Structure 1
Amino acid sequence: MGKLETFRRPSVENFQRRLTQHERQEAMFKVATLLKVDGILFISLRHGPIPANRRMFQVSAKETVQLAEREGLTNTLNVEVQSTQLINRQVGVTWSWHAFSKSET
């Protein structure tokens, strides 16, 4: 099998809400493996009501940070913001943005 390509600055938007808890653990392991040493992983999470007819799960920022740290990543940024869409703000949707770095161990 060939060498896996790694990434320096991957950005992942809201993917975790579409995964079960077990799938989120597996996904974080895979993303951390693909992150280059000295790379930074950016993750945004949507918080609030789940739209009708969508398979989504509630995912907290705390869970995301814990999963990343379990894989050896260091949490370097946590920012919470309101949704840019008026209809989402009206129903209480917020977003959190997170960054994680990978250092040599």
Structure 2
Amino acid sequence: MSSVPGTRGYAQKPEKFAKDYESVTFEKVHKPVRHYYPIHNKLASILDIGAGTGRDAAALARAGHFVDAVEPTAGMREHGQQLHANEQINWIDDNLPHLHKIVASHKKYDLLLLTAVWMHLTPEERETAMRVCKNLLLPGGVMSLSLRHGPVPADRHMFDIPDEEVIELGKAHGLHLLHHSVHKGDTLGRNEIHWSYVVFSAAPSA
């Protein structure tokens, strides 16, 4: 779906991005926050939004979880399907902010992953995406975002979004903040880049 602005720069170099993404493990990327994920004592329904080549989706599928992987860039999606052909991943061509196909399926999830995704959305899209994502969570479900900070590449549709904006937007949509942390470093060794994590939970059922 090349018309999605946030995918600009990825479709042209899927091999490079695939190599970068797959060079780091799910465990390393999510180490600061994975203990919040509802995956430790049950089989969870998971939506990996902007799944890239499926590194995280594959790790979770191998553990027996039910994983839908949304990726709008055809080259990335195809790489993921080839790399992780042995894993039970349901690949979907869909995109934020509306996630039309996911919403139309009426599915709800225990865990939403937005790993290095939120930075591709405009302010208006972020408002819509937060509402859509909140409505996809099961009662007590968890939504995890990693946020990129640092210089924006000229060939990418990307924004350096303040953590506080994300936190306040989530709260405004009725989500509870479970975790916020800032990490001075980048898993790919880029000194100018650092990341933060924001984790929300939906209200439990009454």
> Could you state the TM-score of these two structures normalised by the residue count of structure 2?
0.47
RMSD (CA atoms): 1.5
Q: Deviations over 1:11-34 (max 9, x none)?
A: 111222111100000000000000
Aligned ranges for residues 39-58 of structure 1 at < 5 Å? 39-58=141-160
1:37 corresponds in structure 2 to 139
Which residue identity is paired with 2:114? V
**Alpha-carbon displacement from aligned partner over 1:41-69 (angstroms, at most 9, x marks no partner):** 11111111101211111211111101111
User: Between Structure 1 and Structure 2, which shows a larger proportion of strand residues?
Assistant: 1
Structure 2 distance, partners of 1:35, 1:44, is: 18
Match of 2:69 in 1: none
Cα separation, 2, equivalents of 1:65 and 1:7: 20
Deviation by residue 1:50-90 (Cα, 9 ceiling, x = unmatched): 0121111121111110111111001110111111222x21x
Unaligned runs of 5+ in 2: 1-103
The one-letter amino acid of 1:33's match is N
Q: Which has the larger radius of gyration?
A: 2
Q: For residue 99 of structure 1, give the secondary structure of its aligned residue in structure 2.
A: strand
CA distance in 2, matches of 1:10, 1:54: 24
Q: Counterpart of 2:148 in structure 1: which amino acid?
A: R
- Separation in structure 2 between the aligned mates of residue 14 and residue 39 of structure 1, nearest angstrom: 20
Give the match for residue 202 of structure 2. 102
Residue correspondences, number: 101
What is the identity percentage for the equivalent residue pairs of Structure 1 and Structure 2? 29
Between the two structures, name the one with larger relative contact order (CA 8 Å, sep ≥ 6). Answer: 1
TM-score after normalising by structure 1: 0.88
Question: How far off is 1:9 after superposition?
Answer: 1.1
Q: List structure 1 segments (4+ residues) > 6 angstroms apart after TM superposition.
A: none
Amino acid at match of 1:41: M
Q: 5 Å matches for 1:1-105?
A: 4-81=106-183, 82-86=185-189, 88-89=190-191, 91=192, 93-104=193-204
Question: Whole-Å Cα distance in 2 between the matches of residues 18 and 96 of structure 1?
Answer: 15
Do 2:118 and 2:145's aligned partners in 1 also have CA atoms closer than 8 Å?
no
8 Å CA contact 2:131–2:173 kept in 1: the answer is: yes
